[in-house]
Each structure stands twice: as C-alpha cells, then as structure tokens.
Structure 1
Amino acid sequence: MRSAALYGALGSLVLTALTAAPAPAHGPGEAWPPGGRAEARGVELAARQAAARGIRFGACPASEQLPAPVQCGIVSVPLDYARPGGKHIGITVSRARSLGTRSQHQGALLYNPGGPGGSGMFFPLLTAVKQWQSTARAYDFVGYAPRGVARSAPLSCADPASFTKAPSPAEEHPTAAFKRQRIAEARAYAQGCARRAGQDLPYYNSLNNARDLDVLRAALGEKKLNYMGASYGTYFGALYATLFPGHARRMVFDSVVDPTRSKIWYDSNLTQSAAFERRWGDWRRWVAKHDAVYHLGRTPQQVAAAYERARQRLTRRAAGGKVGPGELHAAFLQVGYSDSHWARSADALSAYLRGDDRALRTLATPDPAAARASENSNAVYTAVECNDAAWPRSWSVWDRDNTRLARRAPFETWQNAWMNLPCAFWTAHQQRALDVGAAPRALPPTLLLAAERDAATPYEGAVELHRRLPGSSLVTERGAGTHGIAYGPNACVNRHVERYLLTGQVPGRHAYCGPRQEPAATTGAKTAPGLAG
C-alpha cells in the first residue's frame, strides 16, 4: 500500500453500524497459535532474553539528529523467529523519559508512523510539542526503526543514485511501449532485492514486525504494551493484537488499514488508488473556490486542465532539469495525504504556469542527500508487501485491473501499480496473510481513529477492524481526508485520544467529530508536517 512514509517519515464514507459477529482469530484448519508454533516459541524465548538484558540507552548517533535528552539504544531480535538461536539483527530504539511525576507515570508508549518503510525514531521529540505534553507527562515516548529501516539491518534493492534519478516519466494512460519499459524495471528491481538481501529477504514481513514489538516491550521492562500506530502501523499493530492479546494495554490505531486477508495487499492498492481520485477531486474543488488567489480555474475540471498543461510542459522540458511528470505527480500526491499541502501546491502550480518555476522546483526536486533513505524506505516497503501475501503473477491481470480502474481514477492508478509491480516477479517465499481478529474480552478496549475521506487508508478499513476487535471504539472525523489525525488541529479527536491514553476510557462504540477547518488560500505557504505514514 503506497504510503506517505515513502515521501517523508514526518508526513501525520458514512459510518454504518455493523452487527455481524467478530471474525475469529484464526480460520478453519489454520495452525494455532496464529503465525506458527515454532515462531510463537521463538518470540517467547527472545522476549525473555530481551527482558533480562534490557536496553543500554546512551547518546544518539549524530546521524539520528536527536539531541539530548533523547537517548538511543539497540534491541537484538531473531531474523527468523522459528530459529531464535540463529542470526539476530539489531533494532534501533529512541526514548525520552516522561515529563511527569512518578505517580503519573504509566510506562512506555511505542509509536510507529507507518510505511512499510517509515521510521519512528523522531517520536521522542514530540514531548516538546504542546498537544502531546499531557500524554508525555504519563509516558516515556519510545520510537524505533523497524527491521530493514535506517540502521535496523537496512535493506537495499538498488543503487540509491539510480533509484532517485530525475526527471522521470509518468503517464495516466500508458502506451504499450511504456508498459513494457516499466515491466522490465519492476523485474530488475525484484531481482535486485533478491540479490542484495539474499536468504534474509523473506524475514522482512508484517508478522515479524508484530513479533519484534513484543520483544521491544519486554526489553523496555513492560509487562503490557502501550502502542500507537498510524497507517501501516495499524496493520501490524492489529497483527500484534491477534498474536498477543494478553500483552496489550492501550492501543491506538490511527488511519486504519483494512486487515481483510483477501485484500492484503493487491486489492488494497486498487482500493487506495480509487480513493485518491476522490481526494484529488477535493483539492481541485478547493482550488477552484479560490480562483481569485490561484487563477487555475473556476471549476474542478478547469483546475484539472491546468495540472495537465503543467504535466505536458514538463514532459517536453523538465523544470530545473530535474522536475518531470514523475516528480510533479509525487509532489502533488501529497495533497491527497494532508490538506496542509493544499495551498503550497496550488501556489507552485499557479506560479509555474505563469512562467516562474522556482516554487515548483522547491516543492518537487528530489533531494540528493535523501537518496539513500528514500531507496531504503522503498526497499522495505516492497519487501514487506511482497512477502506478506501472494500477488498476481500474470501481467494480464495487472493490466486488466489497472486499465479498468484508470478509466475512472486516472490520477494515481498506474503510478501505484508500477510501485507494486516488483511483487509480480518476487522470488522470496510469500506467506499467507493472517486472519486478524480477537475473541470477545480477549483484548482491553482499543481506540480506532479515521477520517471519512482518507485516501491512503480508506474509511472502510477502520469499520472492518472495528468489527474484528470486540470492545474497540471508532472515532470518526467527518468530512475530512487528512491521513493521520491524532494530536492534529481537531480538538475533539485529541480529547478522545488523550482521555484514552491517560485513563483507558473509550467513548462508547462510536464517536463523531466535526471536520477540521479548511486551509486558508495563501501564497508562499509552507507545509506543516504530519505524523502518519
């Protein structure tokens, strides 16, 4: 599932009452414990060892850019939990101690921003942010880089310089020749993953990300896990709840991935592409409403035509030699993730069409200094999603499904397909996705957060996970589409999250919050970072 984490780790439907019985934690004939007996024993052993060792925290390496009082450490986890005595890898961890008194302290709160491929090492810095400070008085803020990410046994599938080479093409309705080129690139990328990672490649997957969480919990000296996951972080957080329901204390799932086994991950990406078209329409309507500021058109159709003029112009001549149609699309995809990007993107497009490309170059030019991190993030994304479940092997299936979808959702469909196409040529073992769910009263109350018009994780996914986790509560931000809503500008959402983390109270089965205020139409706007990946 394409994720904002791939464009920056700091990037933050009408609800229907469902009365169906929760899905079972395991399907008929499926091995129990879920995920395998050998792996379950391996996690138990690794957690005992981690609890005995603890974490030796100290000053963070300069590369992390995490100043004191944030401290860093490393937790050793098995590469393969079925062989806990075999190869181990190191997971990097960051921590800021709680700001409150001893009597206020409730343990550690682990955070994951999503991805796959996002790092949460920055999380302890949020103790200094006003919205988080009541929570920071109760919890140590603990971030970490999941396996494969950054310094945590980093994965790579290609040379970073060639991976981020610009300008790059993009076609909403690709020609046969363009498709052949992208098929060859996807096959080569999958081969690069297999060659560079070797026999380790199959062990970078969501089940192991969930198992790693339990070892981290033990290493921190916590009997129960307090966890906050956004976007993809909700999926392996839900896997954790399935695998270790008795180890959960407080769990917040922000912008929820649909955990339905049949949707992981091929169908999820098709659903996501359709949702991005709707969100792209939200931005175009907003720009049209502010035509007096941006002069891009008085209707959404006219705004779309303005964007198309820019795309065609960049096809003929890249801005600054680096911003072509691919870079334009990657930059403007961000308006689907957060409305904090709306004004800046409209301003850059308007200026470019008037002959000034400076704002567009600032917005869309790839940063050479981030090439290695970008390639690593994409490698982890690809490995996890390709390993998690079986993908169609026949190009005709991909071509049929995406051609059909692109007729009504052209903005993101093919770019999303190209990103995931290496999975069609994957040589590592692909596992069967786990059936997520918990038995009644097996879990403490959990809190789910979702925006009705979220494109990256469409709202139906939150409804589905809510159904599968008995006793959970779903907080809906009506009429909004920003991806990652906890501790943002919506005070209603924040009250529910803070009350839950501090007291364990959930707001009944469903709660609703009004939409956040639309962004102001400004020029020279700067984008505020969010949290979800």
Structure 2
Amino acid sequence: MRATALYGAAGSLILSAVAAAPATGAPPHGTREDRGTVVAAARAVAAGVTFGACPAEEDLPPTVECAVVRVPLDYADPWGRQIGLAVSRVRATGGLSARQGALLYNPGGPGGSGMYFPALAKEPAWKRIAEAYDMVGYAPRGVGRSAPISCLHPVEFTKGPTAAPVHPTAAEKGKGIARARAYARGCAHNAGPALRHYHSLNNVRDLEVLRAALGERRLTFLGASYGTYLGAVYAMMFPDRVRRMVLDSPVDPDPARIWYRSNLEQSLAFEGRWADFRAWVARHHATYGLGTTPQQVQASYDRARALLARKPADGTVGPGQLHSAFTRTVYNDLYWPRRALALSAYLKGDPRQLVKQAKPRVSEAAEEENGNAVYTAVQCNDAPWPADWAVWDRDNTALARRAPFETWANVWMNLPCAYWQPPRQRPVDVRTGPGDVPPLLILAAERDAATPYAGALRLQERLAGSALVTERGAGTHGISGGDNSCVNRHMEAYLLTGRTPVGGAAGGPPPPPAPGGGGPRGGGRGGAFKQKKRAPTKQV
C-alpha cells in the first residue's frame, strides 16, 4: 500500500471510511487512534492491494497468491511508521455471478498465522464456500513476515531437555520467576518502543484496514479461538462494517477474565479434557497396554515422566517435551492414537516414536519462538495482570491440586506479564444490542478446553441476535471445516445465505478416533484449521 497523501478527490474516501457510531458498550470514538484508523482505511481504499506469487518461505501451493498491506504501527500517528501485513488469497472459483466477496480468516493464538487458509479451498468442506468467496488469510502484526517480533533466541527457546514439575518446589518456582523476568526484558529489549503497539485493539484496527484494502464495503470474517475475540471486538468498534462472522471456539469476552482469569479457567478445563484422553486410552488397553482405568493410564504417563527426568530420550526429550507433545491431545482427538502408541512403545523400551513426536525441531524453532513472542506481547499489553507473585502462587497452587496437568505450565507461559512494562490497554466490554450488527454464527465444542464452552454461552449473551451451534460431547478445538457434517452445513448455509439456525443447534460429536497410529504427525498442524498447538505457544 502506498503512503500517499489523500486530498482533493480522495477526501470522499476518507468520509466513506468513517466507522459508524459504536454499538452499546463500545469504547467512545473520537480518539486519535480512531481518527488514525479512518485515515489508514481511506489510504488502503486508494492504494488497493496487488497480489502476486508467494515467497518460497510461505510454502504455499502455486494456486495461492500473496501481497502485503501496510498499516500504521501506531494508529495515533497514521502517517508515521508503517508495517506490512502479509496476506494470501485464492480467488472465488464460482465466477463473478457467484462471488460474494472476500472471506478473511484469523486462526487465533495470539501468534498464529492464517496464511495457509486459502490452500483449503480445494477441500470438500470448503468447496461451495470457495466458489462464493475469495478465501483470504493473513499473518497478524508481529507474526511471520508481518513486522515480526522476538523475545529470545529461537534455539534457546526450543532447546531440550527441560523439566516440567507438576507441583514445583520453592526453588523451582524461583527459577521460573527468573526466566519470566528475563523473557519480559528480552521482549522489551528486542522490540523497543514498538512493543506497546502489539495488542488486540490494534489487531482489530488492522482488520478494518485489510477490509478496506480488499475493496470490501463490509467485512465477512471467520475467526477461530483468539480470532473470535478479534471478531467480537470488531463488531463493537465497527458495527456498520460487519456483514457476516463465524466465531469458532470462542474466547469468553468478559473483560474481567481478559486474560488472567481466563487462563485459570483454561487450566481447569484442560484437566477434564486430559481425563477424556486417559479414558479413551484405557478403553483400548488391548492395543496400548497402558492400563484399564484412567488412573492406571496416568500412572503409565507419570512413569514415563520419571524415566525421562533420569535419562532424556535422544538427549533432548525430557519431561517438558513429553508434556508439550501430550498437550496436543487436549486440542484434537486426532492426536490420541499416535501419542498413545508412542507412550506405549517408550515404556516397552523403544523411544523412537516418542522422540519423533516430541523432539524439538531446529527447523521450526524460529516460527515457534516468534509465535510465543506475539502471544506474550498481545496478552500482556491487552489488560492488567497481577504484579504480585504471591497472587499467582496462591491461585495456582490451589488450582494445581484439582488440575495438575496444565496449571503450572500455563503459569510459566504467562508469568512474563507480571513483569511487563506499561502502558496496558483496557479490555473492551463486548456487548451489542438488537440490530446493532447482523446475526453472527458461533460454533463451539462442549468439552473444548482451550476455550471452555461457558465462554461461548457468555459470548452469545453479549452479541444480540447471534446463534450458537454446539458440538455435544466433543472437545476438539476449532471445529469448522472438520469432520462434523452438521457443523459444516450450518457454517456453509450461513456464509452463503446469511441464515442462522433459529434457537441455535446442537449435534453429537464425530466418531472417536480408532486405536492405532493415525492422526497428525508429531509437530504438524492439527484441528480443522490446522491450528498449531506447540507448547508453550497456545491458542486461547
């Protein structure tokens, strides 16, 4: 996008880019950032976007084309420093008569890249949607080629083996505090003053500029996980710019939960989902030999942890790498067979499968560290966090008695926020009234642990007129375009016609995975949107 001054004839573009009055509960317009967003969006309309071949580093099929859209680093200074957002696209396949516009996708994280999204256009679940829409992905600010940030050398970030104490000692907590302080300092040192501009409100403003650059009068958006929060806040800030939105696996938008309390709730929900995995493994004891009850499966897992603490597999896979690999089972059932098979083989004396699935990959280190840096920056900048370690210690020591699987890993991932440099944003009180925005479609799995189901119910309450489609008894995180034909039918009908199910809808889960060795390969992408869960980077 060219940073061209817009005067004269372009003045009408500025007027057309002005957002409507905010919906009920939205932050008041008229701030410098609001005026800067108007300028940036108008500039994007004038510049448009030029697509061409994608860089080799994106590793996308030749059917996908790429571009860069420029946005202000600081919306209070729209003529100041500009950063480029990497964008990808596959044009609608149904021709001009069928085309409804662009469908813009955000995969969540924060720290996830949606650049791969257009490559899904040929998948059966997306075929009819891809006929009607240009499928558009992008890397949010800070991610990949979009003005990337880093807080720690990638090799240092991913090196193993590491420990992952379930109930850390005082000495272990002290080391964790020191690491968190050092990580926060590294973020501040590497990014400098720009770091303060990586937060959700600017991500939402970037969405508005992307809409304008794509030439869309209103936004059609698909957000997963944290991407649902961006969609909900966009609906507050730019209600008249909303066309259709699918919010898949939604974050609870209650400002009191952004983000410290939401992480406590997530850790508790992880325990229930970890129990689902152990129950499934126990039902297939004949295949895996890990125990006939969930308690026995836990004992097998704990034995593997103890063995790896004494002697890491391949010199790189310790308890921390084991935990990272098995955390993926909480996100997607498709990981269950491979993880159980690897654990079984390891306990029988063959570590090869476990090493293959859990060993840190040097080739992915930079991407993982970048994703975690963006996650940390956005979460820490978005809202106040407890600055007193005693609060973290009290809350999580108590929680770990009920939910030992993920609690302390979650603490260490988020603790840099206790030592983060101000300023911090104030979370938006997401709330729309009747008629503020068109009906929105919410999709949620009842046992999703990354974004617990209660958050979907609260989001529906806050977005007047929205409809909720529930996948009963299921826990995979990110269900659009997955294995549930009922979910996909509702999503397709909504995106193609705007129709939502009256009173919502509910359906059962897809069949559980069969025992054996199937599922995503270790370190690969799982979930309906190939979302990444590479601990410690996570979807929220």
Kindly provide the amino acid, as one letter, of the partner of residue 128 in structure 2: S
**Any idea what SS the aligned residue of 1:471 has?**
coil
Kindly provide the amino acid, as one letter, of the partner of residue 82 in structure 2: H
Kindly provide the amino acid, as one letter, of the partner of residue 162 in structure 1: E
Distance (Å, rounded) in 2 between the aligned partners of 1:125 and 1:100: 16
Matched, 1:117 2:111: yes
When residues 89 and 287 of structure 1 are mapped into structure 2, their CA distance, relative to the original with a 3 A threshold, is: same
Deviations 1:101-153 (A, max 9, x none): 21110000001111000000001100111111010000000000000000000
1:507 is aligned to 501
Q: Mapping of 1:215-254 within 5 angstroms?
A: 215-254=209-248
**Any idea what SS the aligned residue of 2:224 has?**
strand
Kindly provide the amino acid, as one letter, of the partner of residue 220 in structure 1: L
**Any idea what SS the aligned residue of 2:78 has?**
coil
**Any idea what SS the aligned residue of 2:132 has?**
coil
Kindly provide the amino acid, as one letter, of the partner of residue 28 in structure 2: W
Kindly provide the amino acid, as one letter, of the partner of residue 448 in structure 2: D
Kindly provide the amino acid, as one letter, of the partner of residue 432 in structure 2: A
Compute the displacement of 1:525 (Å).
Answer: 5.3
Matched, 1:529 2:526: yes
2:90 is aligned to 96
1:307 is aligned to 301
Compute the displacement of 1:428 (Å).
Answer: 3.3
- Which one of the candidate residues 440, 443, 446 is aligned to 1:452? 446
- Structure 1: stretches of 5+ with no match in the other structure: 1-23
Distance (Å, rounded) in 2 between the aligned partners of 1:80 and 1:430: 14
Compute the displacement of 1:429 (Å).
Answer: 1.2
Distance (Å, rounded) in 2 between the aligned partners of 1:271 and 1:145: 28
Kindly provide the amino acid, as one letter, of the partner of residue 102 in structure 2: A
1:474 is aligned to 468
1:17 is aligned to none
Q: Mapping of 1:388-399 within 5 angstroms?
A: 388-399=382-393
Distance (Å, rounded) in 2 between the aligned partners of 1:268 and 1:233: 15
2:166 is aligned to 172
Compute the displacement of 1:67 (Å).
Answer: 2.8
When residues 249 and 526 of structure 1 are mapped into structure 2, their CA distance, relative to the original with a 3 A threshold, is: closer
- Which one of the candidate residues 9, 14, 28 is aligned to 1:32? 28
When residues 362 and 40 of structure 1 are mapped into structure 2, their CA distance, relative to the original with a 3 A threshold, is: same
Root-mean-square deviation (Å): 1.3
Compute the displacement of 1:524 (Å).
Answer: 6.2
**Any idea what SS the aligned residue of 1:407 has?**
helix
1:198 is aligned to 192
Kindly provide the amino acid, as one letter, of the partner of residue 32 in structure 1: P
- Structure 2: stretches of 5+ with no match in the other structure: 1-22, 532-538
Q: Mapping of 1:19-168 within 5 angstroms?
A: 25-26=24-25, 32-33=28-29, 37-168=31-162
Compute the displacement of 1:529 (Å).
Answer: 2.6
- Which one of the candidate residues 362, 375, 381 is aligned to 2:369? 375
Kindly provide the amino acid, as one letter, of the partner of residue 145 in structure 2: R
Compute the displacement of 1:66 (Å).
Answer: 1.6
Deviations 1:7-58 (A, max 9, x none): xxxxxxxxxxxxxxxxx8328xxx512xx62111111110010011001111
1:6 is aligned to none
When residues 426 and 110 of structure 1 are mapped into structure 2, their CA distance, relative to the original with a 3 A threshold, is: same
The 8 Å contact of residues 25 and 435 in structure 1, kept in 2 or not, is answered as no
Distance (Å, rounded) in 2 between the aligned partners of 1:317 and 1:370: 24
Q: Mapping of 1:257-272 within 5 angstroms?
A: 257-272=251-266
Q: Higher relative contact order at CA 8 Å, sep ≥6: structure 1 or structure 2?
A: 1
TM-score by length of 2: 0.92
Distance (Å, rounded) in 2 between the aligned partners of 1:529 and 1:432: 33
**Any idea what SS the aligned residue of 1:104 has?**
coil
Distance (Å, rounded) in 1 between the aligned partners of 2:212 and 2:388: 43
Kindly provide the amino acid, as one letter, of the partner of residue 512 in structure 2: E
Q: Mapping of 1:310-325 within 5 angstroms?
A: 310-325=304-319
Matched, 1:351 2:345: yes
> Which has the larger displacement, 506-515 or 351-360?
506-515
The 8 Å contact of residues 201 and 428 in structure 1, kept in 2 or not, is answered as no
When residues 428 and 155 of structure 1 are mapped into structure 2, their CA distance, relative to the original with a 3 A threshold, is: farther
> Which has the larger displacement, 523-532 or 245-254?
523-532
2:511 is aligned to 517
The 8 Å contact of residues 148 and 154 in structure 1, kept in 2 or not, is answered as yes
The 8 Å contact of residues 119 and 149 in structure 1, kept in 2 or not, is answered as yes
1:387 is aligned to 381
Distance (Å, rounded) in 2 between the aligned partners of 1:106 and 1:196: 42
When residues 524 and 92 of structure 1 are mapped into structure 2, their CA distance, relative to the original with a 3 A threshold, is: closer
**Any idea what SS the aligned residue of 2:249 has?**
strand
Distance (Å, rounded) in 2 between the aligned partners of 1:524 and 1:347: 10
Kindly provide the amino acid, as one letter, of the partner of residue 285 in structure 1: A
Kindly provide the amino acid, as one letter, of the partner of residue 142 in structure 1: V
Distance (Å, rounded) in 2 between the aligned partners of 1:56 and 1:32: 34
- Which one of the candidate residues 192, 195, 207 is aligned to 1:213? 207
The 8 Å contact of residues 209 and 236 in structure 1, kept in 2 or not, is answered as yes
Distance (Å, rounded) in 1 between the aligned partners of 2:251 and 2:526: 21
Distance (Å, rounded) in 1 between the aligned partners of 2:172 and 2:215: 53
Kindly provide the amino acid, as one letter, of the partner of residue 176 in structure 2: R
Distance (Å, rounded) in 1 between the aligned partners of 2:251 and 2:119: 26
Deviations 1:395-450 (A, max 9, x none): 00000000000001000000000000000000131111111121210100100000
Distance (Å, rounded) in 2 between the aligned partners of 1:144 and 1:524: 30
1:8 is aligned to none
The 8 Å contact of residues 334 and 518 in structure 2, kept in 1 or not, is answered as no
- Which one of the candidate residues 415, 418, 424 is aligned to 1:421? 415
**Any idea what SS the aligned residue of 2:135 has?**
strand
- Percent identical among aligned pairs is 60
Give aligned pairs, total: 506
**Any idea what SS the aligned residue of 1:314 has?**
helix
Compute the displacement of 1:514 (Å).
Answer: 1.2
**Any idea what SS the aligned residue of 2:312 has?**
coil
Distance (Å, rounded) in 2 between the aligned partners of 1:513 and 1:41: 45
- Which one of the candidate residues 456, 464, 475 is aligned to 1:462? 456
TM-score by length of 1: 0.93
Distance (Å, rounded) in 2 between the aligned partners of 1:526 and 1:352: 19
- 4+ long deviations beyond 3 Å: 523-528
Distance (Å, rounded) in 2 between the aligned partners of 1:508 and 1:525: 35
**Any idea what SS the aligned residue of 1:399 has?**
helix
Distance (Å, rounded) in 2 between the aligned partners of 1:193 and 1:120: 23
**Any idea what SS the aligned residue of 1:476 has?**
strand
Compute the displacement of 1:65 (Å).
Answer: 1.1
Matched, 1:327 2:321: yes
**Any idea what SS the aligned residue of 1:72 has?**
strand
Compute the displacement of 1:523 (Å).
Answer: 3.5
